[in-house]
Amino acid sequence: MVDAAAAQTTRDDASKAARWRARLELTYRREHARSYLARRAHSGPLVVQKSLYPEGERVCQTIIVHPPGGIAGGDSLAIEVAIEPGAHVQFTTPGAAKWYRSSGAAARQVVSLEIGDEGVLEWLPQEAIVFSGAIAEMEAAIDLAPTAVYVGWDIVCLGRTASGERFAAGRLSQRLSVRRAHALLFAERIELCGGGAELDSPVVLNGAPIFGTLLAVAPAITDAMLAGWREVSAAEGDVSVTRLPGLMVARYRGASCEAAKACFISLWARLRPLLLGRDAVVPRLWST
């Protein structure tokens, strides 16, 4: 007869062995008019593809790839990016991040972004799909030098809406902090439980399975920037815009990832010429 405790230990050891621990560390530098990846270190399944320059050498476009394609209970991903003074880097991903159902262990992703003076970081990932039953913990910390600029978004889809799945079980935790010269500028924390009352509350998601936040952080947020954002509406769902000291925040909630992305792309396109002096060039990857 097989000892039950030994069998459980074997299953636990197999489960631990299957969990991914991945870390990606990137440093970008500007030399003359060119922004480039100066240092890269990674462990586990988290990598970047070759740098692209669709706008010329000033803007270095980077695609972050997580080869397993999904994040399971017990997985831990860490991304650390340093943008040295004057460099301009744009990040995106090749597809949606999938957070799988867990048997009890949390899956965790921590993103740390540091931007030097005159540096620009555009963080434009595709959406995160949190399966019903997932236990997902997402944390992002952004630290800007006095003259640095950050524009970034996140879009979350609760449940596999295309197949009619609702977020009926599990948990989602999100933490975000933004600092300018190490002084806290903005912070928020979101805690959502699968099947919880907050999912249907009018002051939270009001039954919408998809929500997102777009942040623009700059030394000066002008009236023209705010007015441009307030002219944008979503084809489906709700969008709101707020200006706070040193930043602007746009929120989306609705039932369509496509509408959320289209809305945020429109906001980004309105802002980029005013903030960066550049038209918005949509990554070709999004069309493949």
- pLDDT of res. 116: 98
Q: Which residues contact 16 (CB under 8 A, 6 or more apart)?
A: 74
- pLDDT of res. 12: 38
Q: Which residues contact 250 (CB under 8 A, 6 or more apart)?
A: 213, 214, 229, 239, 240, 241, 242, 263, 264, 267
- pLDDT of res. 157: 97
- pLDDT of res. 20: 82
Question: Distance (Å, rounded) from C-alpha 280 to C-alpha 269?
Answer: 5
- pLDDT of res. 18: 53
b/e string for 205-233 if b means 16 or more Cβ within 10 A?
Answer: beebbbbbbbbbbbeebeeebeebbbebe
- pLDDT of res. 68: 87
- pLDDT of res. 161: 92
CA atoms within 13 A on the CB side of 224: 7
> Are the C-beta atoms of residues 143 and 154 closer than 8 Å to each other?
no
* CA distances, 177 to each of 22, 182, 184 (Å): 22, 11, 7
Question: Distance (Å, rounded) from C-alpha 230 to C-alpha 227?
Answer: 5
Question: Distance (Å, rounded) from C-alpha 124 to C-alpha 135?
Answer: 23
Question: Distance (Å, rounded) from C-alpha 102 to C-alpha 170?
Answer: 8
Kindly state the tokens that stand for 75: 């997985």
From first to last of its 288 residues, the chain has per-residue pLDDT tens of: 434 443 333 333 334 445 789 999 999 999 999 999 999 999 999 999 999 999 999 999 999 999 888 999 999 999 999 999 999 999 999 999 999 999 999 999 999 999 999 999 999 999 999 999 999 999 999 999 999 999 999 999 999 998 999 999 999 999 999 999 999 999 999 999 999 999 999 999 999 999 999 999 999 999 999 999 999 999 999 999 999 999 999 999 999 999 999 999 999 999 999 999 999 999 988 887
